Amino acid sequence: MYPAKFDYHRPSSVQEAVSLLQANPDAKVLAGGHSLLPAMKLRLAQPAALVDIGRIPGLSGVSLADGRLRIGPLTTHAELASSELVRQHCPLLAEAAGVIGDRQVRHRGTIGGNLVHADPASDLPAVVVALDGVLHLTGPGGERQVSAADFFVDLLTTDIQPGELLTAIEVSTLGAGSGSCYLKFEHPASGYAVCGAAAIVQLDGSGRCSGARLALNGVSVKPVDAGAVTGALVGQALDDATIDQAVDAHLSIQDPMGDIYASEEYRQALARSYAKQALKLARDRARG
Ligand SMILES: Cc1cc2nc3c(=O)[nH]c(=O)nc-3n(C[C@H](O)[C@H](O)[C@H](O)COP(=O)(O)OP(=O)(O)OC[C@H]3O[C@@H](n4cnc5c(N)ncnc54)[C@H](O)[C@@H]3O)c2cc1C
């Protein structure tokens, strides 16, 4: 399995990468290569050129500013899973990154590639939606920001425009009284999510829910933002029955996916079960 012929460029700045993408409309950005290269070898993708962003300074690493984490797109899953900053301020992201694929995938795959590829079975899209993520894009027209909720458009399709580069991802941090959980039912061969649930629960001083987020991977063509479920939890004392009832009454999945491994009905049943379990674990962690 050899890819079709392509040109190779290795820019040293974001501006140079954007110029190369503008000059080569059939070019693709190369990050960790763990989705793009298999697709090229199978001839599912035949870019005329690759723009390898791996040596551009400043596109990797995590920093904390104004209560938000800012993450470079080239940060690998292994770096996210082991980062003290991420583990302390955004344990949901560290937990999800730590269950991606296997050790090799986690050391090559990047958060930027994972989000732009937008595989419905990937782990990070729903996590970034639950964390009210904002994606920073730089293109020929300058810089713009898109919320994670608007970034994922369809199967393997995002809002990224021709010539644009994802240059940073910003996510919320979790404060005192909050707990989070990422739980997935993984495909036994690949480790990809057949269903993944990302949950955040915030409790007030009396133990009632003062805020919650829930998003799901794997069950639809793009992440499912289950705002109706979490809306029903706010103000409630979160016993198991309340969580079960909120999920049963309010979790609705538009265009559920089905395939030879897991039917639409099975995925919907998984979604209900994993949503409940993830919310309960997030609640338990918020209680400390
Ligand atoms: C065997 C195997 C198992 C895996 N298991 C899992 C799993 O369990 N869960 C999971 O979530 N993922 C899994 N993955 C995917 C992996 O986690 C990678 O995140 C994913 O392949 C893409 O990241 P990458 O850095 O390799 O991107 P690449 O393959 O280099 O790029 C992917 C796409 O994103 C574009 N792109 C990349 N970076 C940018 C950028 N900064 N700006 C604009 N466009 C960009 C590329 O042009 C390309 O279209 C698995 C992969 C393999 C091979």
**Model pLDDT for residues 104-162, shown as the tens digit of each residue:** 999 999 999 999 999 999 999 999 999 999 999 999 999 999 999 999 999 999 999 99
Mean pLDDT over 163-171 rounds to 98
The tens digit of pLDDT for each residue in 197-225 reads: 999 999 999 999 999 999 999 999 999 99
29 CB less than 6 Å from ligand 1? yes
Map out the domains of the chain as residue ranges.
Answer: 7-52, 66-172, 178-287
Residue with CA closest to ligand 1 atom 38:
113
**Coil, strand, or helix at residue 76?**
strand
Percent of the chain residues past pLDDT 90, beyond the cut? 97
268 CB less than 6 Å from ligand 1? no
34 CB less than 6 Å from ligand 1? yes
114 CB less than 6 Å from ligand 1? yes
Residue with CA closest to ligand 1 atom 3:
101
Classify domain 66-172 at the CATH topology level.
Answer: 3.30.465
Model confidence at 190, pLDDT cuts 50, 70, 90, reads: confident
* Centre of ligand 1 from the C-alpha of residue 16, in Å: 22
CA–CA dist 50, 17 (Å, integer):
10
Residue with CA closest to ligand 1 atom 11:
122
Q: Which two tokens stand for residue 126?
A: 């729903």
11 CB less than 6 Å from ligand 1? no
191 CB less than 6 Å from ligand 1? yes
In CATH, which of 3.30.43.10, 3.40.50.1970, 2.60.40.10, 3.30.590.20 is domain 7-52? 3.30.43.10
Indicate the DSSP class of residue 220. B
In CATH, which of 3.30.390.50, 3.40.50.1970, 3.20.20.100, 3.40.50.300 is domain 178-287? 3.30.390.50
* Centre of ligand 1 from the C-alpha of residue 33, in Å: 6
Q: Which of 51, 52, 59, 117 for mutating ligand 1's site (highest number of atoms within 8 Å of CB)?
A: 117
Which pLDDT score is estimated for 203? 98
The tens digit of pLDDT for each residue in 64-113 reads: 999 999 999 999 999 999 999 999 999 999 999 999 999 999 999 999 99
105 CB less than 6 Å from ligand 1? yes
* Centre of ligand 1 from the C-alpha of residue 60, in Å: 15
Q: What are phi and psi of 174, to 5 degrees?
A: -100, 130
Q: Which two tokens stand for residue 269?
A: 């049943």
Residue with CA closest to ligand 1 atom 33:
117
Model confidence at 255, pLDDT cuts 50, 70, 90, reads: confident
Q: Where are the alpha helices (DSSP H) in the chain?
A: 14-23, 36-41, 77-82, 84-89, 91-97, 103-108, 111-117, 124-130, 148-151, 227-233, 240-250, 264-287
21 CB less than 6 Å from ligand 1? no
73 CB less than 6 Å from ligand 1? yes
